Structure 1
């Protein structure tokens, strides 16, 4: 399977009332540093496990995680499509899908550092709000609710993107909040560590791991008093995986706590941005009366890797990145659908909109993505 190019189209969400800005969301890179195109189908990528990969191409395969060429191409595609975003959301899951014994703390830190350097190289002066995914720890999914070596070293690595207060918070629990960039100062970004709420043996018996719920309550209350709107950014979303039945990501008690916070503070939450599904999706959150109060956008991943979760059909995906357009004063959103990697070159697709006059955003191109920048 050859992943050769990308395409972009637009979906409208809400209406802007001031000078629009744009920001990128990139996630689930899942670098497989040992990916190689080989005539030996069992030697293509460790992330395929014991599966044969007979038709691997230079940009990846649905049975494998991302080769470096694909990730490099995705970051440079962002620069080509929207070179001056207001900021970037990068929400983690950077490790390959391999057993814990094939990784380690050193490998986790090395991969995060490598990808950090790439993003910083391409978007040197752009603010990045970064989070860790459930795979970005060793052992995976087992995030402690306190100070640890990985969080501490990554906080130092991300110093150019974080305030001193955020660095201190990140070292304690891998969550933080910051003001949005720009002259308006109209909003805040809240980056959560929802890895604390998943199948995590270290936090299962805790009421509020890392005191993150109480911190979130305080941040949202203060935002309301200040007249700020808030974007919430996380990794593993609440709720269920729509591609299989009865697959909840969070432990039930933590899921209910999060929904309670959102229902209480929905008036200041302008958007929620999560990942983990690898596929393009969204969820609506409702109040107790059944009225919608908040939208949660689940950005698709760069990795094409086909999930091994039981019962999932069509578990692979075309690699994708997403750009949002937003109102800098109100934080209301217009959502560009994901740029997807497919064969055939850079292509523009029609807008997804209620208007009958949808038009191409970009004219079709026939070049392949850049491989070696």
Structure 2
């Protein structure tokens, strides 16, 4: 993939890596092996000549998902030390000092008026069992307070900001309270934040943040979170994205996804996978909004960014155009075994796109009855949400919570102790 990036986008200025280096053997990991994996991965990125802004995924620690807040345990300090050493070459010593504390950093891009802030979204992840304290911390490791300070300084300095992290704040496995607090910060500094970038779901998606979730419109759309697809082939063809951005505002002008087609015989051949352009967001959706977006380089004068209002307009197109919606669902998995998504499934998928805040993503407990995949019996409304490591037990409880009779029985027989 690094070779393909060098050949396909030789003028790329920097790269964003949204985490998860360690394989998904989940609990079958060791600290020693994870140190080797993390160090090796970032060394290979550096050897490829890339300027990389990384973030910590939920699979980097051992055991998986284990990120205790500051003052609770130092059991993950080894990982913060490894990340700090690996990232220093790109972000500098001062920024890496924050990484050693709780896995985040803030650094200035050297060739433009842009600040990159990397967050440890693992501190808001429902499967991080270190967070289940009594009482639960409202700001684990003080990361929100730190983020506000960095954004406030960037605002005063007139800088634009990219926020990067692993788990999207609107995901079903984000704590609602933490997601709500994060959303308030995004709303306050929406004029400073140029874009947000996440991974975790392994799917090609986006989320829109609004100033009013009770009436979500293009006028009150304030930010866009880009959720990049994965190299991991279980969710679709391996993929990476290229973002064309305005060199002054750092607003996103286009998003182009490249894939290595697993159906191509060359995929397992001696020459390795062949990476090709899959689609461009501007080319696919730009002609469908009003007024239509012109292709990059084809118009004189101002070129509209793919701003939050644009992406809300895209969701309106998806809502009213079943063909375009089906194409979007196929693109989520890069054309690999696309599922059928209609009725309730479609409503939930659209709602998830309009949910930069987890409490508004419309995915109810026990949603497994909505739509089933013929092959795997997994509803597309949940497809990939726990690809990055979830809990079978949590899925069972979620299904039970959606069954009224079973919930009533549990309340009587289990809670009451009868």
TM-score range with shorter-chain normalisation?
0.5 to 0.7
Encode CA deviations 1:191-217: one digit per residue, 9 max, x unaligned.
100001102221231121111000111
Cα separation, 1, equivalents of 2:275 and 2:89? 33
Give the drift of 1:219.
0.9
- Which residue in the other structure is 1:337 paired with? 256
Match of 1:26 in 2: none
Deviation at 1:319, TM superposition (A): 0.7
Match of 1:270 in 2: 194
Which SS does the other structure have where 1:266 is aligned?
A: coil
Distance 2:242 2:176 in 1: 32
- What TM-score do you get using the length of structure 2 for normalisation? 0.60
Find the counterpart in structure 2 of residue 166 from structure 1: 95
Matches within 5 A, 1:1-373: 74-100=1-27, 102-123=28-49, 126-146=50-70, 148-182=77-111, 185-199=112-126, 200-204=128-132, 205-240=136-171, 248-288=172-212, 290=216, 291-305=220-234, 316-342=235-261, 343-344=263-264, 345-348=274-277, 351-352=283-284, 353-354=286-287
CA distance in 1, matches of 2:230, 2:82: 25
Structure-2 separation of matches of 1:112 and 1:194? 18
**Judging changes above 3 Å, is the alpha-carbon distance between structure 1 residues 142 and 348 closer, same or farther for their aligned structure 2 residues?**
closer
* Superposition TM-score, scaled by structure 1 size: 0.67
- Structure 1 runs of 4+ off > 3 angstroms? 343-351, 355-359
Indicate conservation of the 8 Å contact 2:239/2:259, yes or no. Answer: yes
CA pair 297-210 structure 1, distance change in 2 beyond 3 A? same
Residue 346 of structure 1: CA displacement? 4.8
Structure 2 distance, partners of 1:249, 1:333, is: 27
Q: Tell me which residue corresponds to 2:324.
A: none
More helix by share: 2
Q: Is the 8 A contact 2:258 2:276 kept in 1?
A: no
Segment of structure 1 superposing worse, 159-168 or 209-218: 159-168
- Distance in 1, matches of 2:119 and 2:29, equals 25
Q: Secondary structure at the match of 1:149?
A: helix
Q: Deviations over 1:114-134 (max 9, x none)?
A: 2112111111xx421111101
Unaligned ranges ≥5, structure 1: 1-73, 241-247, 306-315, 360-373
Cα deviation, residue 348, structure 1: 4.5
Deviation at 1:356, TM superposition (A): 9.5
The structure with the greater share of residues assigned to strand is 1
Aligned equivalents of 2:278, 2:139: Cα separation in 1: 45
Shift of 1:149: 1.2
Partner secondary structure for residue 15 of structure 2: strand
In 2, Cα distance between equivalents of 1:225 and 1:135? 36
Higher relative contact order (CA 8 A, sep 6+): 1
Tell me, in whole angstroms, the C-alpha distance in 1 between the residues paired with 2:164 and 2:4: 23
Q: Distance in 2 between matches of 1:207 and 1:116?
A: 32
